[in-house]
Amino acid sequence: MSADTKDDRSQRARIVKVAARLFAERGYHAVGIAELQNAVQLGRGALYHHIRSKDDLLYDIAREYIADLNDLAVTAEHEPDPRKRICILGQHLISMIASHQAELTVCFREVQSLTDSRRAEVLALHTRYERVWKDAFISGAEQGLFRPYDPVVLKGVLGMYFYSYLWMRPDGSLGAETISERFNEMALRMLAIG
């Protein structure tokens, strides 16, 4: 790999990180290209050397992080104990939100700002990820460990994890591990029989 290619990838990663922070703080529609240029300290030509458009940036952020969650979910799918599967999924999700809070904020909150075909693609990834959780709930019910599957409970449990992006602080007194342990405990209590 040439130095220019490595430098280009590093610069693009920096631009994506700054864009995610701006989109998370102010909302995708409130951030203009000029503001992004200023934040990354690049001229228009240099910025467009690394990105195609603001919409492409949003798509890349939203798609990459939900795709990463799906990739991490593959390890959980192989766990036969649905209780452990829920804990693996919960730990991965909270860890990802803690380490990429701005990006996951954009992924969860700004997906409706994508163009139709891109929105459909990203929402399909969200559905695929939700399906892994649903399968764990159903498996637990079939094994007599959980209550019968209820889609409202699924949405409630996922909402508990997902919306931690609103309040979790990377420098806060509770770390991602403690938060995921507490959430996992609550999720398993909600699913348990009796």
How far apart are alpha carbons 12 and 18 in whole angstroms? 10
* Cα Rg of the chain, angstroms: 19
Nearest to 147 by CA among 85, 82, 92: 82
Mean pLDDT score across all residues of the chain: 91
In this structure, the number of other CB atoms found within 10 A of the CB of residue 23 comes to: 26
d(CA 57, CA 66): 15
Using the predicted structure, report yes or no on whether residue 1 has a pLDDT greater than 80: no
Q: Is the pLDDT of residue 3 over 60?
A: no
pLDDT above 90 as % of the chain? 77
When the candidates are 1.10.357.10, 3.40.30.10, 1.10.3720.10, 3.40.50.970, the CATH number that belongs to 59-191 is 1.10.357.10
| pLDDT over 80 at 97, yes or no | yes
Contact yes or no for 24/105 (Cβ under 8 A): yes
The pLDDT confidence band at residue 39, using thresholds 50, 70 and 90, is very high
Domain boundaries, the chain: 1-51, 59-191
Nearest to 21 by CA among 40, 6, 46: 40
| Residue listed under structure tokens 């890349």 | 60
- From the number of C-beta atoms within 10 Å of its C-beta (0-12, 13-18, 19+), residue 4 rates as exposed
State which fold the 1-51 domain adopts.
Answer: Arc Repressor Mutant, subunit A (1.10.10)
